[in-house]
Amino acid sequence: MRELVFATSNSNKIFEVQEKFISENFCVKILPVPQPFNPEENGTNFLENSYIKAYEAAKITGKDAFADDTGLCVEVLNGRPGIYSARYAKKGEDKIQKLLYEMKKYKTLDERKAYFACAITLVNPLGKTLFSYQSKFNGFIDFEPKGTYGFGYDPIFYVKEFDKTLAELNINEKNKISHRSLALNAFINWLLANY
Ligand code: IMP
């Protein structure tokens, strides 16, 4: 069976990725990276940061590793928090409250356009990029948090097609449409053809 190291310390990401592989009937053993795993994400964009994490994990394990770097980009905030989404505030709940506060003066949905960007990069232990892809998933910043599924900014990311936030969608629903699932679709297709 194929084996890939997933360069993350985020159990929510591991769960989503594993569920996606299962739902696509794609057989791969996901190996964890030794913890603590916290490489400095000092890239200037999502693709660079996903490369940094993947290469670090590939060096540590001596195996091919992939990483996911995700961020929430808000149109009226000129793309913020963007690559700083993880550092926007310390705790998850504080990030949500801070963003809702920044968005307070924007009263219409049209002014609250946002998207999740998700970069996935697969790197070998020599640092060679084998696969790299960035997806974009459009939505809006909701007026209040809703839902208990998912993680991170999901409770305030409103998806018009479902009239729900991402946190009101269960794992199967989120995994059919999300930024991560779009990037994983491309990743799985590449793995099937090349790996
Ligand atoms: P990173 O990709 O681990 O650097 O995550 C950046 C920030 O985005 C963190 O605050 C995460 O909690 C958040 N985040 C990552 N993926 C998702 C997602 O699928 N939904 C909502 N928030 C996310």
Q: What is the pLDDT of residues 54-91, one digit of tens each?
A: 999 999 999 999 999 999 999 999 999 999 999 999 99
Which of the 8 DSSP states describes residue 65? Answer: E
Residue 71 alpha carbon to ligand 1 centre in Å: 6
Catalytic residue among 69, 94, 110, 163: 69
- 175 closest CA partner among 8, 22, 73: 22
Quote the mean pLDDT of the chain: 97
Residue nearest to atom 11 of ligand 1 (CA): 152
CA distance 195 to 183: 17
Query: Does the CB atom of residue 85 touch ligand 1 within 6 A?
Result: yes
User: Band of the pLDDT at 2, cuts 50, 70, 90?
Assistant: confident
Mutate to test the pocket of ligand 1, among 12, 50, 70, 151 (most ligand atoms within 8 A of CB): 70
* Cα-Cα end-to-end distance for the chain: 11
Whether 138 has a pLDDT exceeding 90, the answer reads yes
Mutate to test the pocket of ligand 1, among 16, 20, 153, 182 (most ligand atoms within 8 A of CB): 153
Query: Does the CB atom of residue 171 touch ligand 1 within 6 A?
Result: no
Pairing mode of beta strands 113-123, 157-159: unpaired
Residue 118 alpha carbon to ligand 1 centre in Å: 9
> For residue 30, what are its two tokens?
């996901």
pLDDT, tens only, 91-128: 999 999 999 999 999 999 999 999 999 999 999 999 99
Is 69 one of the catalytic residues? yes
pLDDT at site 17: 98
Residue 41 alpha carbon to ligand 1 centre in Å: 13
CA distance 67 to 13: 10
Residue 175 alpha carbon to ligand 1 centre in Å: 15
Residue nearest to atom 15 of ligand 1 (CA): 70
User: Band of the pLDDT at 1, cuts 50, 70, 90?
Assistant: confident
